[in-house]
């Protein structure tokens, strides 16, 4: 962005100096006013430029048409990880509504079974396959995914699986933290690598969609590993987007605002910030249309008020300053006081 702005900033700076020199000779008061005007423009332009560059794509996606992925990629099958409940389940139903067969990869629990039954009931003419597995270290879940998809082409992938570990880092079992990395980040890389290789070798078009989070671009105390993995997901998606865009493979990471799902159930530690966010959560069914609108139109997409305001906040307040403010305020938070008693 700064490379683009430099010529404009140079002209403004030169104009400030010229105005000051001219006004000093003729009218000191006029010189001061002119210089102030140019300086104001100097600082205002980057802000206006950022807002325009940020909001135009967001508005384009918000009001754009919803693509039919079956037609867009000439596809028969799609795959959704974490599809047993929440956002993943809503995505599976949206895909099925477009005439796609769906492979759901999820924990082998009652939610997966209920979702499979509901899909088959609503869309009896389509096929649905389930892969019940855990994205944990040491589990060969890719072997199960390979086995379930070896006889079909799957050009549409939604990497949606994830969970959160709350509380201070030093109070969480290291095994659970590593499992959080595996599920939220490593599994997404494995799944993307597996299917991108197939798409590239077959010269077919497709899409890889990642469910990231607002936590990926703001400090998230009491959920450090979750925030770190989501930051990874967004950066990975942005880089992969560049690598495969010319091949007709669309990659995007979406950052939803709070969503009412099982995500908030069974937290390790009560966190008031998360509970407050849950109160403003929207139903998972509200997301698929917006997520679909993002495919092929962006590398990163912020969804909802919290995502938009957080993104703008990190523009106006440098991230290091943002973090220091959180660090100073944290000891006064009830979450901190409660969990710090055991340290």
pLDDT, residue 34, reads 65
pLDDT, residue 264, reads 66
Helices (H), the chain: 2-26, 28-62, 69-72, 86-97, 110-122, 141-149, 174-181, 187-202, 224-244, 272-279, 288-294, 305-316, 319-329, 334-340
Kind of pairing between the strands at 77-81 and 101-106: parallel
DSSP three-state, residue 201 = helix
CB 233 within 8 A of CB 217: no
DSSP three-state, residue 164 = coil
Q: What is the pLDDT of residues 309-327, one digit of tens each?
A: 899 888 888 999 989 998 9
For the cut 60, the answer to whether the pLDDT of residue 1 exceeds it is no
pLDDT, residue 41, reads 64
Q: Give the whole-angstrom CA distance, residue 182 versus residue 178.
A: 6
Region 127-154 average pLDDT: 98
pLDDT, residue 9, reads 47
Determine what percent of the chain is predicted with pLDDT higher than 90: 62
Region 178-194 average pLDDT: 98
Kind of pairing between the strands at 101-106 and 249-256: unpaired
pLDDT, residue 24, reads 46
pLDDT, residue 27, reads 55
| pLDDT grade for 335, boundaries at 50, 70 and 90 | confident
CB 252 within 8 A of CB 298: yes
Mean pLDDT, rounded, of the chain: 88
CB 161 within 8 A of CB 91: no
pLDDT, residue 260, reads 79
> Could you give the C-alpha distances from 140 to 113, 145, 275, in angstroms and in order?
21, 9, 34
- Which is more confident, 18 or 216? 216
DSSP-assigned beta bridge partners for residue 156: 78, 207
Q: Give the whole-angstrom CA distance, residue 200 versus residue 171.
A: 43
Question: Which string of DSSP letters, residue by residue, matches 125-158?
Answer: TS-EEEEE----TT--HHHHHHHHHTTS---EEE
Q: Give the whole-angstrom CA distance, residue 241 versus residue 300.
A: 9
Q: Give the whole-angstrom CA distance, residue 8 versus residue 43.
A: 12
Q: Give the whole-angstrom CA distance, residue 194 versus residue 55.
A: 34
- What's the chain's length in residues? 343
Region 35-42 average pLDDT: 64
Region 202-216 average pLDDT: 97
> Could you give the C-alpha distances from 15 to 21, 30, 34, 82, in angstroms and in order?
10, 14, 9, 57
pLDDT, residue 16, reads 47
Catalytic status, residue 226: yes
Region 228-255 average pLDDT: 98
pLDDT, residue 55, reads 86
Lowest mean pLDDT among 24-33, 220-229, 248-257: 24-33
pLDDT, residue 265, reads 67
pLDDT, residue 8, reads 46
pTM: 0.85
Region 269-292 average pLDDT: 81
CB 266 within 8 A of CB 250: no
For the cut 70, the answer to whether the pLDDT of residue 15 exceeds it is no
Question: Which string of DSSP letters, residue by residue, matches 168-199?
Answer: -GGGS-HHHHHHHHIIIIIHHHHHHHHHHHHH
Lowest mean pLDDT among 2-6, 285-289, 312-316: 2-6
Region 240-247 average pLDDT: 98
Region 28-44 average pLDDT: 63
For the cut 60, the answer to whether the pLDDT of residue 141 exceeds it is yes
Q: What is the pLDDT of residues 49-92, one digit of tens each?
A: 888 888 888 888 989 999 999 999 999 999 999 999 999 999 99
Among candidate residues 141, 226, 264, 319, the one labeled active-site is 226
Tokens representing residue 274 in the block: 């998360």
- Which is more confident, 92 or 41? 92
CB 208 within 8 A of CB 163: no
Region 236-249 average pLDDT: 98
For the cut 80, the answer to whether the pLDDT of residue 233 exceeds it is yes
Q: Which residues contact 188 (CB under 8 A, 6 or more apart)?
A: 81, 159, 161, 210, 233, 236
Region 280-296 average pLDDT: 93
What residue spans define the domains of the chain?
1-23+30-45, 62-332
DSSP-assigned beta bridge partners for residue 79: 103, 157
CATH code for 62-332? 3.40.50.720
């Amino acid at each position: 962005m700064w490379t683009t702005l430099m010529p404009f900033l140079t002209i403004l700076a030169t104009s400030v100096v010229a105005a000051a020199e001219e006004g000093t000779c003729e009218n000191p008061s006029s010189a001061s006013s002119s210089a102030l005007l140019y300086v104001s423009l100097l600082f205002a332009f980057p802000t206006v430029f950022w807002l325009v560059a940020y909001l135009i794509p967001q508005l384009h996606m918000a009001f754009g048409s919803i693509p039919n992925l079956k037609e867009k990629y000439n596809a028969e099958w799609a795959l959704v990880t974490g599809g047993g409940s929440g956002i993943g389940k809503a995505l599976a139903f949206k895909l099925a509504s477009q005439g796609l067969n769906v492979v759901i990869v999820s924990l082998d629990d009652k939610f997966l079974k209920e979702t499979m039954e509901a899909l088959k009931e609503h869309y009896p003419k389509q096929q649905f396959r389930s892969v019940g597995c855990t994205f944990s270290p040491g589990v060969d879940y890719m072997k199960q995914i390979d086995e379930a998809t070896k006889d079909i082409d799957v050009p549409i992938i939604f990497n949606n699986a994830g969970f959160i570990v709350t509380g201070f880092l030093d109070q969480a079992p290291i095994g659970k933290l590593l499992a959080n990395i595996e599920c939220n980040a490593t599994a997404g890389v494995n799944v993307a690598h597996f299917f991108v290789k197939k798409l590239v070798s077959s010269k077919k078009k497709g899409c890889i969609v990642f469910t990231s989070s607002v936590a990926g671009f703001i400090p998230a105390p009491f959920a450090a590993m979750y925030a770190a993995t989501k930051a990874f997901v967004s950066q990975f998606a942005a880089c992969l987007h560049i690598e495969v865009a010319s091949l007709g493979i669309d990659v995007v990471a979406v950052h939803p605002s709070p969503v009412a799902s099982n995500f908030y159930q069974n937290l390790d530690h009560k966190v008031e910030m998360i509970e407050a966010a849950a109160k403003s959560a929207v139903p998972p069914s509200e997301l698929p249309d917006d997520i679909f609108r993002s495919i092929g139109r962006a590398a990163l997409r912020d969804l909802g008020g919290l995502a938009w305001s957080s993104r703008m906040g990190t523009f106006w307040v440098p991230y290091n300053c943002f973090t220091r403010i959180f660090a100073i305020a944290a000891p006064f938070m009830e979450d901190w006081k409660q969990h710090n008693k055991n340290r």
